[in-house]
Structure 1
Amino acid sequence: MKFAPMNYHYLRYSLKKFLDKVEQSVFNSIDLYCSAPQFNIFDYSLFSLLELEKEIRRRDLSVMAMTPENCTYPVNFCTQDRGTRESSIRYYQRAIDTAEFLGCHKVQISTGFGYFDQSPEDAWKYCRDSLQQLGAYCEKKNVELMLEELKVTTTNVLIKSSDLKRMIEETGSSHIHGMVDLDQMTYAEESIDDYMDNLGAQLVHVHFNDRGHTVPGDGDYPMKKYYKDLKRRGYEGTISFEICDRRYYCDPDKVIDDITEWLRNNTTELS
């Protein structure tokens, strides 16, 4: 398995601070969370993109995965509102272009939602149609989409691993795969085995975070068991740490140190 930190908890700092810390750590790649003011997928200049690429390469780092903001911004490719849906597709198209430029082959995409007072079947159809368009674009760009489920409080489209399986099959795209966020998984009362059983080789990425998107060991999830379950099922894909809780905003460097310590104490990955 290949591990990488994400810069979500560095939102109050420049990307350079994050890159400096990763350069000094045991990691050699990143999961690039794209959000203003650090790096806004909606509207960055070519100069900004060139500068970002230079800063990453200067530190001998690579971009393992890219995570555009999926939830805070008006991004929703499943909605019944056509204008929002089409602008969201353009947003992800730009994210795919960005990933290609940075030499990144994986872009995370979270399901949107349909109006909760309207037919969920319509939202499912729009989700599938949007993904089919993006999958065709990915094929030309040599980029893979990593499709993520969300909680029932957030979406009425993709909630469980079986939903991911069905959607991936219906898109018919060889460039759309599944991923699991351990916080979403546990909230839905599912397990690593559920994801492996439903997705198998189509499971290509993991957000390895404790309850509430906290550092492994800071919550009450059985994180060591989750790691062992992934190993037992032969998972060899990529793993990143999506640490979102605001308690970490004041001292983001410590998060990477704490993740490293947890890996050393509970896994053999850093041996």
Structure 2
Amino acid sequence: MKFAPMNYHYLRYPIKKFLDKVERSPFNSIDLYCSAPQLNLFDYPLSRLIELKKEIEAHHLSVMAMTPENCVYPVNFCTQDDLTRESSIRYYQRAIDTAQFLDCPCVQISTGFGYFDQPREEGWKYCRESLWTLAQYCEKKDVRLLLEELKVTTTNVLITSKDIAKMLEEIDSPAIVGMVDMDQMTYAKETIDDYFDNLGDKLQHIHFNDRGHTVPGDGDFPMKEYYDSIKNRGYDGTVSFEICDRRYYRDPDKAIDDIVAWMKANTNEFD
């Protein structure tokens, strides 16, 4: 497997601090979280993007995946509101363009939501139509979308691995594949095997984090068991650490150190 940290918990610092730390770590790639002030997809000039690419290359790193801020105001590609849906599609179009410029093969995309007082089928329909549109664009750009479900408190569209599998089947594009996040998976009372059974070779990315999107070992998930299950299924794809809890904001470097320590204590990935 190929592992990469994400810069979510570095948002109180310049992006260079994150790149400096990763360069000193055993990792050689990153999952680039896209949010201001580091990389604001709503307004990011080409000159800054060129500088960012040079910085990443100067640190001898590659971009494994990009994770735009999504399913929060004002991004929602499943909504019945036409203006919001169309602007969200344009937002992801910019994300795909940015990924191509940074030689990044994948862009993570989480389901949006329909109005909670309307039939789920409406949100599903707009989700499918929006993803199909983006898939056509991705096929031209040689970029893949990594589709993630969310919790029932966030969405009424994609909630389980079966939902992801059904959506991928309906869209039928090689440019959209599935992924699993340990936090979403456990909340939905699913298992690693559920994802592999339902998605098969369409499962192509993993967010490996403990409860509440914390460092492995900082929560109460059986992370070693999860890791072993992933290995037992023969997975050899990409894995990133989506660490979002604010406890890590003041000392984000330590979180990277703790991830490395957990990996060394529980896996042979760095041998």
Q: TM-score, normalised by structure 1?
A: 0.99
Question: What does the per-residue CA deviation read over 1:137-161, in whole Å, with 9 as the maximum and x for residues that have no partner?
Answer: 0000000000000000000000000
Q: Aligned residues, how many?
A: 271
Name the residue aligned to 1:78.
78
User: Which 10-residue stretch deviates more, 154-163 or 70-79?
Assistant: 70-79
User: Which 10-residue stretch deviates more, 63-72 or 196-205?
Assistant: 63-72
Q: What SS class does the counterpart of residue 40 from structure 1 fall into?
A: coil
Structure-to-structure mapping, 1:105-254, within 5 angstroms: 105-254=105-254
CA distance in 2, matches of 1:134, 1:173: 10
CA distance in 2, matches of 1:214, 1:84: 31
Q: Does 1:27 align with 2:16?
A: no
Name the residue aligned to 1:47.
47
Shift of 1:119: 1.2
User: Which 10-residue stretch deviates more, 64-73 or 82-91?
Assistant: 64-73
Shift of 1:221: 0.2
Name the residue aligned to 2:67.
67
CA distance in 1, matches of 2:102, 2:161: 30
Question: What does the per-residue CA deviation read over 1:121-178, in whole Å, with 9 as the maximum and x for residues that have no partner?
Answer: 0100000000000000000000000000000000000000000000000011111000
Name the residue aligned to 1:270.
270
Match of 2:244, as an amino acid?
A: C
Shift of 1:73: 3.5
CA distance in 2, matches of 1:88, 1:119: 21
Q: What SS class does the counterpart of residue 263 from structure 1 fall into?
A: helix
Match of 2:103, as an amino acid?
A: G
Shift of 1:198: 0.3
CA distance in 1, matches of 2:43, 2:237: 31
Q: What SS class does the counterpart of residue 204 from structure 1 fall into?
A: strand
Match of 2:204, as an amino acid?
A: V
CA distance in 1, matches of 2:84, 2:212: 28
User: Which 10-residue stretch deviates more, 89-98 or 68-77?
Assistant: 68-77
CA distance in 2, matches of 1:172, 1:71: 23
Q: TM-score, normalised by structure 2?
A: 0.99
Match of 1:122, as an amino acid?
A: E
> Is the 2:71–2:111 Cα contact (8 Å) retained in structure 1?
no
Match of 1:246, as an amino acid?
A: R
CA distance in 1, matches of 2:103, 2:73: 25
Match of 1:78, as an amino acid?
A: C
Tell me how large the CA RMSD over aligned residues is.
0.5
Shift of 1:71: 3.1
Name the residue aligned to 1:257.
257
Question: What does the per-residue CA deviation read over 1:222-246, in whole Å, with 9 as the maximum and x for residues that have no partner?
Answer: 0000000000011111000000000
Question: What does the per-residue CA deviation read over 1:18-51, in whole Å, with 9 as the maximum and x for residues that have no partner?
Answer: 0000011100000000001111011100111001
CA distance in 2, matches of 1:230, 1:174: 23
CA distance in 1, matches of 2:71, 2:258: 27
CA distance in 2, matches of 1:200, 1:119: 29
Identity value in percent: 74
Q: What SS class does the counterpart of residue 138 from structure 2 fall into?
A: helix
Match of 1:127, as an amino acid?
A: C
> Is the 2:110–2:147 Cα contact (8 Å) retained in structure 1?
yes
* 5+ long unaligned stretches in structure 1: none
* Deviant stretches of 4+, over 3 Å: none
Shift of 1:72: 3.2
Match of 1:212, as an amino acid?
A: G
Name the residue aligned to 1:88.
88
Match of 2:44, as an amino acid?
A: Y
Match of 1:207, as an amino acid?
A: H
